[in-house]
């Protein structure tokens, strides 16, 4: 009887494990060859820059706009609705130009009501003056009549003084006449005092009435002025920088309508990176690129507030640019923070950040290989950056311009 030996099958799990080990070993070998292998690069495909020892102007670059030093906010003097727009941002304006028109029916109604009130008050004032004058005339007529009676009684008293001695006039009648004279005299004094008081009261009433009448007229002048302000004008010449309302929009009294900027006293505002702002100081020289042409200026103000990683720097320009630029013009510029007489510098390229540690490929003296080294950068100019460590004069470095071998530690260079 023959014995049949069955072939044992390798378990499926063991096969999977062996396959995984083989794949991992293959990847490791591939990665090692990628990192330390003989990776060749044609020098014609590289940008190689030499470290030089030279004097360099350290600049901080920024971007921004031309601005007007003299600006004015135009506000609404009335409440109403914007019914017409005659100017848009960027338009030149003079003092008398109408920027927009506001309609205010309530203002028209207020003016009409006030005019009626003034007419009514004026009429009442005329009536009051007539009545006061009439009362004063009546008082004066009464005093005049009493004065006449006083004179008559006084003459009578003088005549009776002689007749009473001869017995023609009784002493009783004489005494009555004398008392009557004294009484009329006192009444005249009282009436004259009343007349003075009446005149004073009349004067004060008219003064109060005139004051009230004057206040109403002042209110009318204000309202009429507001009616004039329905046609909104800039009140200064320059350029319309901002228009803060739209056609048909309702506005309140005091609401901002527009911003006007003078086209004469212009300044530059640059935004520079926050990490470079500490190197700036007031008085630093700035160069503004107007495209075409450049302007020189100096830093006059550095804001403390940081916005989106940038700091605002104000630059006063050394010459009048009103004929060459306008407010809100986009600009670029540089601010010189220092000048280094002997500095190791390298051509600026993408990937080489200022004030940082950077890994670059340094070309060997033989020119056949380039090995990755770490260098430390400082500030720089628009086209160059200062190297503070990791490099010497004459060193050659491969600039990082989109190279695909940055994962290597060393590369081999060839010319074909």
The CATH number linked to 93 is 2.40.50.100
For residues 409 and 301, membership in a common domain is answered with: yes
For residues 386 and 246, membership in a common domain is answered with: no
Q: How confident is the model at residue 211 (pLDDT cuts 50, 70, 90)?
A: confident
157 found inside a domain: yes
pLDDT of residue 6: 45
For residues 156 and 237, membership in a common domain is answered with: no
Asked if omega into 19 is within 30° of 0 (cis), the reply is no
For residues 241 and 324, membership in a common domain is answered with: no
For residues 410 and 384, membership in a common domain is answered with: yes
In which domain, by residue range, is 82 found? 76-103+232-259
- Asked whether residue 109 carries a pLDDT value surpassing 60, the answer given is yes
- DSSP, collapsed to helix, strand or coil, labels residue 262 as coil
Which of 58-62, 324-328, 362-366 is least confident?
324-328
28 found inside a domain: no
8 found inside a domain: no
Sign of CA dihedral 104, 109, 112, 117: negative
Which of 133-142, 158-167, 378-387 is least confident?
158-167
206 found inside a domain: yes
pTM given for the model: 0.55
Gap between the Cα atoms of 400 and 330, Å rounded: 30
Which of 228, 249, 281 is the C-terminal boundary of a domain?
Answer: 228
For residues 374 and 286, membership in a common domain is answered with: yes
Q: Where are the alpha helices (DSSP H) in 58-170?
A: 105-166
pLDDT of residue 183: 87
- DSSP, collapsed to helix, strand or coil, labels residue 41 as strand
Give per-residue pLDDT as tens, 275-284.
Answer: 888 889 999 9
Task: Write down the residue that tokens 């060749």 correspond to.
Answer: 40
For residues 99 and 244, membership in a common domain is answered with: yes
201 found inside a domain: yes
Gap between the Cα atoms of 324 and 238, Å rounded: 14
Which of 243, 259, 275 is the C-terminal boundary of a domain?
Answer: 259
- Asked whether residue 210 carries a pLDDT value surpassing 90, the answer given is no
Q: How confident is the model at residue 36 (pLDDT cuts 50, 70, 90)?
A: very low
For residues 242 and 214, membership in a common domain is answered with: no
Gap between the Cα atoms of 6 and 127, Å rounded: 140
pLDDT of residue 27: 56
241 found inside a domain: yes
Beta bridge partners, 267, equal 67, 316
Sign of CA dihedral 343, 344, 350, 354: negative
For residues 325 and 336, membership in a common domain is answered with: yes
For residues 244 and 267, membership in a common domain is answered with: no
pLDDT of residue 25: 65
Q: How confident is the model at residue 26 (pLDDT cuts 50, 70, 90)?
A: low
20 found inside a domain: no
Give per-residue pLDDT as tens, 168-209.
Answer: 778 888 788 888 888 888 988 888 888 888 888 888 888 888
- Asked whether 51 and 397 are in contact (CB, 8 A), the reply is yes
For residues 221 and 145, membership in a common domain is answered with: yes
User: How many domains in the chain?
Assistant: 3
For residues 138 and 268, membership in a common domain is answered with: no
- The CA–CA distances, whole Å, from 370 to 115, 353, 399 equal 94, 21, 12
What six digits make up the tokens of 178? 């004398």
pLDDT of residue 24: 67
pLDDT of residue 14: 62
29 found inside a domain: no
Q: How confident is the model at residue 115 (pLDDT cuts 50, 70, 90)?
A: confident
The CATH number linked to 398 is 2.40.30.170
What crossing angle do the helices spanning 105-166 and 171-228 adopt, rounded to 10°? 170
Gap between the Cα atoms of 195 and 143, Å rounded: 9
Beta bridge partners, 285, equal 298, 336
Give per-residue pLDDT as tens, 330-348.
Answer: 999 999 988 888 999 999 8
- Asked whether 48 and 396 are in contact (CB, 8 A), the reply is yes
């Amino acid at each position: 009887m023959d014995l049949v030996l069955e072939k044992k099958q390798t378990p499926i799990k063991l096969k999977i494990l062996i396959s995984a080990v083989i794949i991992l070993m293959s990847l490791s070998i591939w990665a090692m060859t990628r990192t330390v292998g003989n990776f060749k690069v044609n020098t014609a495909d590289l940008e190689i820059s030499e470290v030089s020892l030279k004097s360099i102007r350290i600049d901080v670059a920024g971007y921004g706009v031309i601005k007007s030093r003299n600006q004015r906010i135009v506000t609404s003097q009335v409440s109403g609705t914007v019914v017409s727009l005659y100017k848009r941002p960027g338009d030149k304006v003079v003092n008398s130009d109408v920027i927009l028109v506001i309609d205010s029916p309530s203002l028209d109604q207020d003016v009409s009501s006030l005019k009626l009130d003034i007419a009514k008050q004026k009429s009442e004032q005329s009536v009051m003056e007539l009545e006061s004058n009439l009362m004063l005339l009546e008082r004066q007529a009464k005093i005049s009549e009493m004065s006449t009676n006083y004179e008559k009684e006084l003459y009578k008293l003088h005549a009776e003084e002689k007749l009473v001695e001869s017995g023609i006039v009784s002493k009783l009648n004489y005494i009555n006449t004398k008392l009557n004279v004294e009484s009329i005299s006192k009444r005249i004094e009282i009436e004259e005092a009343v007349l003075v008081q009446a005149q004073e009261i009349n004067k004060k009433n008219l003064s109060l009435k005139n004051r009230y009448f004057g206040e109403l007229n002042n209110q009318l002048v204000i309202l009429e002025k507001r009616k004039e302000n329905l046609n909104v004008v800039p009140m200064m010449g320059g350029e319309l920088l901002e228009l803060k309302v739209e056609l048909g929009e309702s506005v309140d009294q005091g609401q901002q309508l527009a911003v006007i900027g003078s086209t004469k006293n212009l300044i530059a505002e640059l935004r520079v990176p926050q990490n470079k702002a500490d190197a700036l100081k007031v008085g630093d020289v700035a160069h503004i690129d107007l495209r075409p042409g450049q302007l020189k200026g100096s830093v006059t103000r550095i804001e403390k507030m940081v916005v989106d990683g940038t700091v605002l720097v104000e630059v006063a320009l050394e010459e009048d640019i009103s004929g060459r630029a306008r407010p809100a013009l986009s600009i670029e510029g540089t601010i010189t923070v220092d000048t280094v007489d002997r500095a190791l510098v390298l051509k600026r390229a993408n990937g080489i950040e200022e004030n940082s540690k950077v890994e670059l490929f340094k070309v060997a003296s033989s020119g056949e290989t380039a090995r990755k080294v770490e260098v430390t950068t400082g500030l720089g100019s628009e086209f160059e950056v200062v190297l503070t460590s990791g490099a010497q004069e004459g060193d050659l470095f491969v600039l990082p311009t989109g190279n695909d071998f940055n994962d290597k530690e060393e590369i081999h260079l060839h010319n074909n």
